[in-house]
Structure 1
Amino acid sequence: MQIPLLPKDEKKKEIEDVDQDRRFTIDASIVRIMKFRKVHGYQQLVVVCVEQMNPVFKVIKKRIEDLITRGYLERDKEDPNLLRYLA
């Protein structure tokens, strides 16, 4: 049985939806880790995320930066390699 091919627009939309779901999952994982730890080193946070979900490093780093921008996390003023969870 052959699976019908999706039109290009539908395929693109499907890929975008999967990427959006992946971003939400990574965000939730980062927030959950930081909520528990309160303060965590940047590289250690990336390693813990990779261990839990096995996504690409580049994606995790982008999601961390987005969470900083959105006010969920902040960099420590004295040590920019430390992240703080903002309640």
Structure 2
Amino acid sequence: MTKFIWVCAALMAMFATGFNVSRFITLHKRGCMPSSSCNKTESGSLLTAGYTITRACCSEDRCNGATSIHIHVSPVLGPALMAVWSTWSL
């Protein structure tokens, strides 16, 4: 796992965010943010998709490892195939 090479500025904390768009897609982000934003969870919706953002902080230098993206194929593949099939039937 690759580590970031920077150290956060004063009054900032390292963080790791899990951004869950649905039960099929989870995105992860690492970086620095104000310490007051640590260990909080936010929920909301964008159009019809609900999401949850969870932020967790760590205290050591370069402790927030590499980013990763997990995407399941089935929710993406289904609409793509439907779009292709609908253009062929025209």
User: Please, what TM-score do these two structures have when normalized by structure 1?
Assistant: 0.25
User: Please, what TM-score do these two structures have when normalized by structure 2?
Assistant: 0.24
Q: Which has the higher strand share?
A: 2
Larger Rg: 2
Q: Which has the higher helix share?
A: 1
